[in-house]
Amino acid sequence: MTKAAVVLSEELWRFGHGEDHPLKPERLQRAYELLNAYEAFDGQQSRLLAPRSATRDELLLFHTEEYVSAVRGLSRGEGGYTPSHYNFGPGDNPVFEGMFDIASWKVGAALTATDLVTSGEVNVAFSPAGGMHHARANYASGFCIFNDAAVIIHSMLAQGLRVAYVDIDVHHGDGVQEAFYDTDRVLTISIHESGYFIFPGTGFVRETGNGVGRGFAVNLPLAPYTDDEVYVWAFEQVVPSLLSWFEPDVVVSQLGIDTHFLDPLGHLMLTTEGYTQVVRRIKEYSPRWVALGGGGYEVGVIPRAWTLAYAIMTEQEFPDQLPASYAEKYGPGTLRDHNKPKIEAAIKDIARRHATKAIEELRERIPALRP
């Protein structure tokens, strides 16, 4: 059985973006409670660890000094900072009490997971609070304040490691792509709903890297209403070949579940079946693996999906009926989806043709994908 760990504690859901914001702290609390109800942390092969807060020097591995100071100052209500200069304001990125603390804890959780993996203590470590893939070096974006993925990849590069980043969130992993767009030491792969239909409006096939990094940024944009069948097929056409070619020392994955057909912010039509098929394949191609959470805004789906992902990481099989202790609090149900979205044949055909076209263009642009 694989040695695995989850880095999670109540520090990570102590503060939130506001009552009406989609990124609800409850997402993490419920994931913890469901994993605990399944006794996922018991036994010698699985560990639960509390995170720590990232230090300023660790945040500066990716973010600018000005931005780190601004986030701290805005979080504490200090004067002298203009929120809009750092993309804070009403909507996606509000300023809120405890903002700096919670964002630093999320990065610290990812760093804790990274330390466990790079030291050899575990084969895979999962930080559900992470995956804040939109944040830039000097501004917030898409609910993301500090980019934990970019920070931990920089920390691994400093150790001389080759890193592959695989992002299956419904939104393009634009902040991570931009962070490593000019290097051949990091392979970034993002599979997402096309930027023609959804935030952040990027992630097109033509975005392949710059300079020595050309060919090391890979984007597979998909059409709305892409279902399990097309998504898994498209993943198989691209990701295994790239990971085999790149031969990373460590794979960092962003496991957002906003691809789910019930998610309110995306338009893809995955179920837990398609999601777990992809997570299982990421595991197969990861010599060492740091898994981050990411998006997912239907609170009934997120804990189930991430519990299933951790079951794959630990090679456990959890009963389908939700545990009584969890069901009493949140309502009965099953761990796995047993209903699939109904999609008209013509719409499914459009989604498949869109994916096929994207893959054909990728093969023209990415040498590693050519036969």
Tokens of 248: 């990373």
Q: Answer for the pair 190, 220: CB distance below 8 angstroms, yes or no.
A: yes
Cβ atoms within 10 Å of 330's Cβ, excluding its own: 16
The Cα 133–Cα 142 span in angstroms is 9
For the chain, what is the radius of gyration of the CA atoms? 19
The Cα 131–Cα 103 span in angstroms is 11
User: Residue 218 phi/psi, 5° resolution?
Assistant: -130, 125
Active-site residue, 267 included: no
Bond preceding residue 341 cis, omega within 30 of 0: no
The Cα 126–Cα 274 span in angstroms is 20
Catalytic residue among 134, 171, 172, 354: 134
Write the CA distances from 202 to 205, 252, 304, integer angstroms. Answer: 9, 21, 29
The Cα 10–Cα 248 span in angstroms is 33
The Cα 161–Cα 155 span in angstroms is 9
H or E segment to which residue 282 belongs = helix 272-284
At residue 283, the 3 state secondary structure works out as: helix
Tokens of 41: 């942390």
Strand-pairing partners, residue 163, are 186, 250
- Residues serving a catalytic function are 134
